[in-house]
Amino acid sequence: IEGNWKTQAGSTAAIAGGGAFSITLKSGKYAGKTIGSFKAAGDNKYTGTITDPETDKTYSGKATLSGTSLKMSGCVLGGLICKTQTWHKL
């Protein structure tokens, strides 16, 4: 999961380890902003929080790694409503 990823919006995000995996935008309008923190939760699955950089709202998050694709979801209401994006490894 560590490395640089192309977000659905076209920006580059860096995921770095060190206990939890932190997600920092490296390009685009919100470059330099940390937008998430995830911990391993099983085979290629991660849970944590994700922040919408535009609104600064933080959501419960989950991610699933599949090859060079990372499916990221931010959810509210205990997971009843989720917004999902797929990022691609650079």
Residue type, 16: A
Residues in the chain: 90
For 69, which DSSP code? E
Structural contact between residues 24 and 17, judged by C-beta atoms closer than 8 angstroms: no
**Domain map of the chain by residue range?**
3-84
Q: In angstroms, how far is CA 12 from the centroid of its own chain?
A: 11
Print pLDDT tens along the chain (90 aa).
999 999 999 999 999 997 899 999 999 999 999 999 999 999 999 999 999 999 999 999 999 999 999 999 999 887 788 999 999 999
